[in-house]
Amino acid sequence: MALDKNQIAKRIAQEVNDGYYVNLGIGIPTLVANYVRTDISVEFQSENGVLGMGPFPFEGEEDADIINAGKQTITTLPGASFFDSAFSFGMIRAQKVDLTILGAMEVSENGDIANWKIPGKMVKGMGGAMDLVASAENIIVAMMHVNKAGESKILKKCTLPLTGVGCVKKVVTELAVLEITPKGFKLLERAPGVLVEDIIKATEADLIIEGDIPEMKID
């Protein structure tokens, strides 16, 4: 069975280690916060200018002055801090943030990512994504394996305008966990019940497949 969005988030949450400062993008990445182990210390950064983000506020306690980069009302946890946007991207460029999780429209086998523009159709802008992918050392992409038209988003070469080059380290989709190696995409894990052949079929890029591919462990 292919994973749903929450299960993708659950799998990615396993990549979050004790002591990590983590930046979460909009969409599936935001859900990751819900599944991080509770016995470790993790702080979430949002690039508009907050570190130590907590859950959404209780109804009636929303504060227009406290939002995340998705413009959602949030709360802060003990130890949190606010800062301006230039300072925020300073800590991103200086690689103080340990892990960046974001969505994508396309990822290529050399680690290029495209997620900000479909020429002539959709131009929302790159927001902070270009800064994040250019500087972060550890980038995981959370996305669906194929687009709405059924075309693979895991490609030999991106077709859309790029957000960053050679930066993605890992991709988690509803079908598979893929690592980007100097030789291309390596299949690490498959979703429970999904066959390696199904993943090959849904992937335009070549896959490096070594030995038996284990199933993802998602409880």
Partner 1 sequence: MISRKVNNVQEALEGIQDGQTIMLGGFGLCGIPENSIAELVRKNVTNLTCISNNAGVDNFGLGLLLQKRQIKKMISSYVGENAEFERQMLSGELDVELTPQGTLAEKCRAAQAGIPAFFTPAGFGTEVAEGKETREFNGKMHVMELAYKADFSIVKAWKGDEAGNLIFKGTARNFNACMAGAAKITIAEVEELVPAGTLNPNEIHIPGIMVNRIFQGEKFEKRIEQRTVRQRS
Query: What are the residues binding partner 1 (CB under 8 A)?
Result: 46-50, 55-59, 61-74, 82-89, 92-93, 112, 116, 120, 123-131, 134-135, 161-166
Cβ 9 to partner 1 shortest distance, Å = 16
Of 178, 180, 152, 148, the residue nearest 166 (C-alpha)? 180
Cβ 175 to partner 1 shortest distance, Å = 28
Q: Work out whether strand 76-82 and strand 43-46 pair parallel, antiparallel, or are unpaired.
A: unpaired
Q: Please say which residue, 92 or 140, places its beta carbon nearer to partner 1.
A: 92
- Residues tagged active-site: 47
Residue-by-residue DSSP string for 76-142: EEEEEEE--HHHHHHHHHTT---EEEE--SEEETTS-EE-SEETTTEE---TTHHHHHHH-SSEEEE
Q: Please say which residue, 180 or 191, places its beta carbon nearer to partner 1.
A: 180
Q: Please say which residue, 74 or 141, places its beta carbon nearer to partner 1.
A: 74
Quote the CA–CA distance of 178 and 143 in Å, as a whole number: 12
What length does the chain have?
219
Q: What is the largest CA-CA distance in the chain?
A: 54
Cβ 133 to partner 1 shortest distance, Å = 8
- The amino acid that residue 72 corresponds to is Q
Q: Please say which residue, 7 or 135, places its beta carbon nearer to partner 1.
A: 135
Of 170, 132, 161, the residue nearest 16 (C-alpha)? 170
- The amino acid that residue 187 corresponds to is L
Cβ 169 to partner 1 shortest distance, Å = 16
